[in-house]
Amino acid sequence: MTLFRLAAATALASLIAIPASAEFALDARFTDADGDMVADIPSDPAQQVDPATLIFAYTPVEDPAVYVDVWKEFLDHLSEVTGKPVEFFPVQNNAAQYEAMRAGRLHIAGVNTGGNAIAVACSGFRPFAMMANADGSYGYEMEIITYPDSGISELSDLKGRQLAFTSETSNSGFKAPQALLESEFDLQVERDYTPAFSGGHDNSILGVANKDYDAAAIANSVLTRMTARGVVNSDDLVTVYKSDTFPTTGYGVVHNLTPELQDKIQQAFFSFDWTGTGLETEFAPQGETQFIPISFQEHWAVIRQIDEAMGVTYTCN
């Protein structure tokens, strides 16, 4: 299944002039009668589903096996609130996650920042929550990192070098840095630097630390967690660019779960006590200690604008 087509990038500097969601549209199989830019819950009860077992997947930004234990207490809580068994689905890549939702094999998910638009448009994803700090602030930054003594101290030094991206659906791992480099620094992919695709932020970070890549565009939230776990040493990395703040992973459900079940799932997210859990251990180092309500229409406006600036369109088969 081809979920998107990536066209040539245009100037990121023009983002502010682009109307939010100008080119965004849901697949024809979905409706949006209330205009909130996400698929409506089917009005016909016969089209609604109430699975015996709920399947949850976290965005595949790092080794999925790491997150089985991280999410255990939350999934136990989710099971208690919904009255249903919950299984963790360790997806290996973003496309597999979107396709599993579209096919009805995945019910609840945390979808990476750049992938939310694809999941909403093509898979009927209804995001409603995001991790945040205790004061309600949220988000992460895109950083371009290198290793000490690489000869790269500013972005112009990327000329003639290799820059690792994660995947074409990633906001911080591809779309934002490519658009930024071209529009603000006149650095074009292939012409000025050689791209590589690592498949994930953790792969990019480790690749730079091990000097397999000259530099990489990554989400600093992933770097923070990897440093806190001792997976990578901060002395092995140097940041040469840091962006403004973007929204982080969006959590939500597929559109056709029953309204009652969707309400219970949201209740589970917003009633979860993080104290002493795997989520606190993993995400507190970057300041995230709670789930807050969000809307795709409001919180993902800047991401849709980046997609529009890059000429990204989605073909849902």
Is residue 231 located within the same domain as residue 150? yes
Is residue 241 located within the same domain as residue 260? no
CATH code for position 195: 3.40.190.10
Query: What's the whole-number mean pLDDT along residues 114-124?
Result: 94
Q: Which of 29-33, 172-176, 300-304 shows the highest mean pLDDT?
A: 29-33
Is residue 258 located within the same domain as residue 217? no
The last residue of one of the domains, among 246, 262, 281, is: 246
- Whether residue 128 lies inside any domain: the answer is yes
pLDDT per position as a tens digit, 66-86: 789 999 999 999 999 999 999
Amino acid at 56: F
Query: What's the whole-number mean pLDDT along residues 298-302?
Result: 91
C-alpha angle 148-153-157 in degrees, rounded to nearest 5: 120
User: Is the pLDDT score of 269 beyond 60?
Assistant: yes
pLDDT band per the 50, 70, 90 thresholds, residue 305: confident
> What per-residue confidence (pLDDT) applies to 22?
43
Contact 222, 209 (CB under 8 A): no
> What per-residue confidence (pLDDT) applies to 311?
80
pLDDT band per the 50, 70, 90 thresholds, residue 8: very low
DSSP bridge partners of 146: 215, 238
> What per-residue confidence (pLDDT) applies to 169?
83
The last residue of one of the domains, among 218, 246, 274, is: 246
Is residue 262 located within the same domain as residue 119? yes
- Whether residue 37 lies inside any domain: the answer is yes
- Whether residue 4 lies inside any domain: the answer is no
User: Is the pLDDT score of 113 beyond 80?
Assistant: yes
Return d(Cα 15, Cα 176) in angstroms, integer. Answer: 11
pLDDT band per the 50, 70, 90 thresholds, residue 146: very high
Q: Domain range spanning residue 294?
A: 12-137+247-310
Return d(Cα 97, Cα 262) in angstroms, integer. Answer: 19
> What per-residue confidence (pLDDT) applies to 14?
30
pLDDT per position as a tens digit, 203-231: 999 999 999 999 999 999 999 999 999 99
pLDDT band per the 50, 70, 90 thresholds, residue 62: low
The last residue of one of the domains, among 228, 246, 264, is: 246
Is residue 114 located within the same domain as residue 46? yes
- Whether residue 317 lies inside any domain: the answer is no
Is residue 208 located within the same domain as residue 261? no
Is residue 194 located within the same domain as residue 208? yes
- As to burial, measured by CB atoms within 10 angstroms (0-12 exposed, 13-18 middle, 19+ buried), residue 64 is middle
Compute the mean pLDDT over every residue in the chain, rounded to the nearest whole number: 89
Return d(Cα 17, Cα 305) in angstroms, integer. Answer: 9
Return d(Cα 307, Cα 9) in angstroms, integer. Answer: 9
Is residue 182 located within the same domain as residue 53? no
pLDDT per position as a tens digit, 19-52: 333 468 999 999 999 999 999 999 999 999 999 9
Check residues 21 and 162 and name the one with the higher pLDDT: 162
User: Is the pLDDT score of 10 beyond 80?
Assistant: no
Number of domains in the chain: 2
Above pLDDT 90, what percent of the chain? 75
Is residue 133 located within the same domain as residue 251? yes
pLDDT band per the 50, 70, 90 thresholds, residue 306: confident
> What per-residue confidence (pLDDT) applies to 317?
73
- Whether residue 262 lies inside any domain: the answer is yes
- Whether residue 316 lies inside any domain: the answer is no
Interior/surface letters 72-91, b for 16+ CB within 10 angstroms, e for the rest:
ebbbebbbebbebebebbeb
Is residue 125 located within the same domain as residue 153? no
pLDDT per position as a tens digit, 271-289: 999 999 999 999 999 899 9
Distance, C-alpha 313 to centroid of its chain = 17
pLDDT band per the 50, 70, 90 thresholds, residue 108: very high
User: Is the pLDDT score of 143 beyond 70?
Assistant: yes
pLDDT band per the 50, 70, 90 thresholds, residue 184: confident
Is residue 263 located within the same domain as residue 199? no
Is residue 108 located within the same domain as residue 20? yes
